[in-house]
Structure 1
Amino acid sequence: MGELRRRIETGELAPGERVPSTREITRQWGVAMATATKVLTELRHEGLVRAVPGVGTVVSVPEPTTDPAPTAPAPSAPAPDRRSTRSPSAAPAGSTGLTLDRIVAAAVAVADAEGLAAVSMRRVAAELGVATMSLYRHVADKDDLLVRMMDAAIAERPLPADPPPGWREPLTVAARQLWGRFRAHPWLAPAMSMTRPQLIGSAMTYSEWVLGSLHGHGLDEQSAFTAHLTLLNYIRGLALNMETEREAEAQSGLDSEEWMDTQESVLLAALEGGRYPALARLARSGYDFDLDGLFEFGLQRLLDGLAVLVDEGTPPART
């Protein structure tokens, strides 16, 4: 641990740069996996490194230990004449320039960086440098803010103006774009409720797109909406793993691959004796776990199933 701490403190490993994984530590320094895990955990507790979803453990950006000294104004600089220099559209004196868009953007940024649990009215106000109560001029409460956050996150990448022909390709386009939104904002899936759906304008656009695609190809309204909910819940359910994985990385300092390395000996011991031959063969050959690949596989199988209901004759070939 001393060598890694030295490299971080001397700047040899710059802020944001990835530090060696547990596997790399064991290989470079010849220590046990448990020791390598403890090293990264201690560095994380000291605030020197942090886990970044999809990247691994990186060097933390140091926070300033003292406030910078204020810069004294130049004594010869005359005070500006606000009556003559302020444009009609400028904010009045004492205004923070606070807008709904700024509030939502700040809340989304906090959720993206630290998870939904970090979002509060007080925290968002602190990020914007305003009083907490000033937010309530623009949003009713935290629930209202959350709906607006979800709306903004989904609306970042709107669906095409014109759907492609048929039913399968429009559903594929919608599913992949929604998966991309969940990928970009890991907090979005757990924030979205299936049993108590929030009124999210940009999400309703997805619903209309899917329903329109299925209505035009033989499905009645009830079946089309059930198919829509099935597809949506598949995408959302798979996306829930992103936020839980991020939380696990933050707590352990290990990404999923590094964590699996620490469990290898336990898994192999459990597979001894021949009770689980299929799992034993898989453990020996290895399995490349890829969340995007899992999403795509499941999506195509769901669409294969819908093809049986849609009035298009023979279902499309599997891809």
Structure 2
Amino acid sequence: MEQSAPPYRRIVDEIRRRIGTGELTPGDRVPSTRRITQEWGVAMATATKVLTTLRQEGLVRAVPGVGTVVAEPQPQPQPQRPAHSGLPRERRPRETDSGLSRESVVRAGLKVADAEGLRALSMRRVAAEFGVSSMALYRHVANKDELVVLMADAAFRDVELPDPAPDGWRARMEAGARLQWELYQRHPWLAHYLSITRPQPMPRAMALIEWTMARVTGPDPVTLIHMAITLLNYVRATAAGFEDDLEAEQETGMDQNQWMASMEPVFEGILASGSYPMYGGIAAHDEDVVTLTSLFEFGLARLLDGMAVLVEPRAADSGGSAELPAQPPGP
């Protein structure tokens, strides 16, 4: 294409060329929006338009947890004979409305954010999932801000509460924390989006927190809400690493294990100085002893240990541990 073509079109043609020559094959990841901005020196809006155009052409597709990959070749549609519906032109169903509803727009937004991160989400990008213009979405959601709120609340709606529910306060709080943790793994962008200083009205998220705290008795209402938000914020802040890792993988092309392997010689050189005995103490382990999951598990247990002081003050004052069975008498 001529050099005077719009920048996004030149990038689209280059990626299309890579797909056509086999340099990129079905299932391979194509450059992310961030990689496009770095490789071609364009704005994020241009990079988004590149991927949108490629999706509209059926060359790529979004895969949750992976990113945008080369799509499998689709069979060419058979030519159709012209047909007359018998209806006046203005009364025929509009193709641009096909499949669009408030619910379907929210689900499409979830699909995009789960696969590519919240930064890649735009009304234009979501519209590309339906093959319509972004203006078609505004009949169902007011703007992107409203869309993201609806997406977050819809994500919480999919949480399945255990039945029967745990009875003890600690078991219930632990179960609620794990439900949040699993939710953030399915939707890596969600932890970053939630805010404890500017909370959004999300009834389903509030319902999960109410359920989590339902067996805590004793603390006054102000203390109780502090406990609830502290637990929420701990899980949310730890889970923010999911999206950080997803974006880093899309940007570098390396998963966490590959990245750590590439850094291993550097860390070995630092530890060889002998100045970091704490870090050196875990270097001999063959497997990863510090992971996002191990940090979550360790921190959750210690957090609930501390809250036992508020829920079971007499047990804490006597040196006991919350909800541990009594030791049998000695011989």
1:185-216, CA deviations, whole angstroms, 9 ceiling, x for partnerless residues? 101111111110011111010222234322xx
In structure 1, distance between residues paired with 2:215 and 2:281:
43
Matched, 1:259 2:282: no
**Distance in 2 of aligned mates of 1:131 and 1:59:** 20
| Equivalent pairs, count | 266
Q: Contact conserved, 2:191 with 2:236, CA < 8 A, in 1?
A: yes
Residue in structure 2 matched with residue 203 of structure 1 by the alignment: 205
Does the 8 A contact of 1:171 with 1:210 survive in 2?
A: yes
Q: Which residue of 2 aligns with 1:110?
A: 112
Distance 1:146 1:127 in 2: 16
Stretch moving more, 285-294 or 261-270 = 285-294
Q: Which moved more, 1:229-238 or 1:285-294?
A: 285-294
Q: What is the match of residue 298 of structure 2? A: 297
Say what the alpha-carbon RMSD is for the aligned residues. Answer: 3.6
Measure the CA separation in 2 of the matches of 1:117 and 1:163. Answer: 36
The 2-side partners of 1:253 and 1:176 are apart by: 29
**Is the 8 Å Cα contact of residues 167 and 213 (structure 1) preserved in structure 2?**
yes
Paired position in structure 2 for 1:188 = 190
- Contact 1:245–1:256 under 8 Å retained in 2: yes
2:174 paired residue among 172, 175, 186? 172
Partner of 2:79: 72
Contact 1:53–1:246 at 8 Å: present in 2 too?
no
308 and 246 in structure 1: CA distance in 2 versus 1, 3 angstrom threshold:
same
Tell me, in whole angstroms, the C-alpha distance in 1 between the residues paired with 2:65 and 2:141. 33
What is the letter of the counterpart of residue 273 of structure 1? S
1:244 shift after superposition? 0.7
1:128-277 pair list within 5 angstroms:
128-160=130-162, 163-214=165-216, 217-277=217-277
Deviation of the 1:259 alpha carbon: 0.9
User: TM-score w.r.t. structure 1 length?
Assistant: 0.72
TM-score by length of 2: 0.70
Q: Deviations over 1:89-120 (max 9, x none)?
A: xx972242421010000000001111111110
Name the structure 2 match of 1:99: 101
Would you say the 8 A contact 1:107–1:119 is kept in 2? yes
Deviation at 1:261, TM superposition (A): 1.1
Q: Post-superposition shift, 1:82?
A: 6.8
- Structure 1 unaligned residues grouped into runs of 5+: 19-51, 84-90
Identity of aligned residues (%): 44
Q: Check conservation: 1:100, 1:138, Cα contact below 8 A.
A: yes
Indicate if the aligned counterparts of 2:113 and 2:121 stay in contact, CA closer than 8 A.
Answer: yes
> CA offsets per residue over residues 214-238 of structure 1, 9 Å max, x none?
2xx2111111111111100110001
Seen in structure 2, the aligned counterparts of structure 1 residues 280 and 128 have a Cα distance that, compared at 3 Å, is: same
Given residue 73 of structure 1, which amino acid in structure 2 is its aligned partner?
Q
Within 5 A, what are the aligned runs for 1:36-75?
60-62=69-71, 71-74=78-81
**Cα pair distance change 1:145/1:279, threshold 3 Å:** same
Q: Greater RCO between the two (CA within 8 Å, min separation 6)? A: 1
- Residue 279 of structure 2 corresponds to which residue in structure 1? 279
CA shift in 2, pair 1:59/1:284, >3 Å: farther
Report if aligned partners of 1:15, 1:60 keep a CA contact under 8 Å in 2. yes
Please give the alpha-carbon distance, in whole angstroms, between the structure 1 residues aligned to 2:213 and 2:92.
48
- Structure 1: how far apart are the matches of 2:80 and 2:65? 46
Looking at structure 2, the residues matched to 106 and 280 of structure 1 have their Cα atoms a distance apart, in angstroms, of 47
Residues 100-157 of structure 1, C-alpha deviation per residue, up to 9 Å, x if partnerless?
A: 0100000000011111111101111121122212212221211110000001111112
SS in structure 1 of the partner of residue 70 of structure 2: coil
